[in-house]
Amino acid sequence: MQLIDGKFVSAQIQEEIALEVDALKASGKRVPHLAAVLVGNDGASETYVASKVKSCEKVGFSSSLLRFDANISEAALLKVVQDLNENPEIDGFIVQLPLPKHIDANKILLAIDPDKDVDGFHPANVGKMVLNLPCFIPATPYGILLLIERYKIETAGKHCVVIGRSNIVGFPMTILMGRNTYPGNCTVTMTHSKTKDLQAEALRADILIAALGRPEFVTANMVKQGAVVIDVGITRVVDTTKKSGFALKGDVKFDEVLPKCSYITPVPGGVGLMTVTALLKNTLQAYYNRMGTTEKLFFEF
């Protein structure tokens, strides 16, 4: 069994990005610029956005954090998006979800220029992803592809079972693992809350990707001997032994599943750290696209 070390891979890729930024600076070019829009003061969103901004600084990108009160109108937020679309200094931007209830998140996401949509949520990018065309892949699935690639895990001809079908993780993951490329070329089964006999489906997986948000849902009796297990779940559970009062749990019962796997991602220290790194890669790609350079291509693995 080999542990897939998201902390190590994430640091390695961020170091590679930092070297590219150093080279840009040395040749007198401007650096990539990511903007993040944060509405309201949801604790988790604050943490995610802070980590994105911090990572930008670490690799040498410029970053802007645009904060707005929770009662900003939909029209005003659409104007913010429009301004970012038109701002030549910004290469890519994200609007942190969830948004307050009075704002239609789809309307906001649709207003983002697909060329600056580094979260990869715009239908133009989703459509291109389905057609295996150059696009921005949503950060968490992209981070998983990067882990598979860095560990040189064989995917062609394997049976991949994805648990969960959300727009940000499960659905793109099923598309990506079935595409005619590497990582990909799997036979893919998408499962969800209405799936009958999930255990039987999971047991068929050579590669099992759990993204359902139910702590320790995947137990040893759901995993085939030698399977690759990717745990996307992150749930805070009460843990009085921790200073913070909580522990982060994945969707996989790690200790129990570990002996059966060929590879497994831990939580924390697995997929989670890769999400921000993948966002940085998308931003660098957006920068190169806007600079009209052919130095970088999408999906350069």
Residues at the interface with ligand NAP (CB under 6 A): 140, 163-166, 168-170, 191-195, 198, 211-214, 232-235, 271-272, 275
Among 96, 128, 253, 281, the active-site one is 96
Minimum CB separation of residue 214 from ligand NAP in Å reads: 5
Write down the catalytic residue from 5, 91, 117, 119: 119
Q: Which is nearer to ligand NAP, 39 or 232 (CB)?
A: 232
96 is catalytic: yes
**Which is closer to ligand NAP, CB of 92 or CB of 141?**
141
CB of 22 to ligand NAP, least distance (A): 27
DSSP of 11-32? HHHHHHHHHHHHHHHHTTPPPP
Selection from 155, 179, 162 nearest residue 233 by Cα: 162
Distance CA 207, CA 265 (A): 12
Residue 82's CB: how many other CB atoms inside 10 A? Answer: 13
Among this protein's residues, is 225 annotated catalytic? no
Name the minimum Å distance from CB 79 to ligand NAP: 28
Q: C-alpha distances in angstroms, 156 versus 134, 180, 186, 206, 207?
A: 21, 9, 5, 11, 11
Nearest to ligand NAP of 72, 148 (CB atom)? 148
Nearest distance from C-beta of residue 11 to ligand NAP, angstroms: 16
Give 178 or 233: the residue with its C-beta nearer to ligand NAP. Answer: 233
Which residues lie below 8 Å from residue 161, measured CB to CB, with a gap of 6+? 188, 189, 191, 201, 202, 204, 205, 207, 208, 209
Does residue 52 have an active-site annotation? yes
24 or 211: CB nearest ligand NAP: 211
| DSSP annotation string for 57-125 | HHHT-EEEEEEE-TT--HHHHHHHHHHHHH-TT-SEEEEPSPPPTTS-HHHHHHHS-GGGBTT--SHHH
Quote the least distance from Cβ 57 to ligand NAP, whole Å. Answer: 20
Active site residues: 52, 96, 119
